[in-house]
């Protein structure tokens, strides 16, 4: 079980979420962040930090974003870990 980053994260990247993660399981893609499902311990700390409510427990991902569960698993293993808050992108 794990938490999943979904569509509202696209283009945001305020990255408030990453600093609270105790296991550093956020990974930085080009347009959004991903959570590595094998590393997330379901502490839920990140959920409240995300201003756009992009993070869900995998059991509670809304139907229209179910594909993000697989995407997080795939992309997290290809991206670099991110552990510090970054400035938002200019266009976000
Ligand atoms: S705070 Fe939310 S929208 Fe912003 S990078 Fe984290 S998960 Fe994505
Ligand atoms: S639920 Fe906890 S362990 Fe999982 S990504 Fe969020 S902060 Fe990290």
CA 84–ligand 2 middle distance (angstroms): 14
Give the number of other CB atoms < 10 A from CB of residue 70: 11
**CATH number of 3-81: 3.40.50.300, 3.30.1360.200, 3.90.1150.10, 3.30.70.20?**
3.30.70.20
- For 28-47, write each residue's pLDDT tens digit: 999 999 999 999 999 999 99
Among residues 45, 55, 52, 47, the alpha carbon closest in space to that of 23 is found at 45
* Rounded Cα distance, 84 and 92, in Å: 18
The region of weakest confidence among 5-14, 20-29, 58-67, 70-79 is 5-14
Is the C-beta atom of 9 inside 6 A of ligand 1?
yes
Query: What is the domain partition of the chain in residue ranges?
Result: 3-81
Higher pLDDT, 58 or 1: 58
45 lines ligand 1 (CB under 6 A): no
Average pLDDT of span 1-28? 94
Residue 21 Cβ contacting ligand 1 at under 6 Å: no
**Cα(76)–Cα(92) distance, integer angstroms:** 21
| Alpha-helix runs per DSSP H in 1-92 | 45-49, 67-76
- The strand order across the sheet containing 80-81 reads 33-35, 26-28, 80-81
**pLDDT score recorded for residue 42:** 98
Digit-coded pLDDT (tens) for 60-92 = 999 999 999 999 999 999 999 999 998 765 554
Q: Please check the confidence at residue 5 and state whether its pLDDT lies above 70.
A: yes
């Amino acid at each position: 079980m794990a938490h999943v980053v979904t569509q509202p994260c696209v283009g945001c990247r305020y990255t408030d979420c990453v600093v609270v993660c105790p296991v550093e399981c956020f990974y930085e893609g080009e347009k959004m962040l991903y959570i590595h499902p094998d590393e997330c311990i379901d502490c839920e700390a990140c959920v409240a930090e995300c201003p756009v409510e992009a993070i869900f427990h995998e059991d509670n991902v809304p139907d229209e974003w179910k594909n993000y569960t697989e995407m997080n698993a795939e992309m997290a293993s290809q991206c670099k870990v991110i552990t510090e808050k970054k400035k938002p992108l200019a266009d976000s």
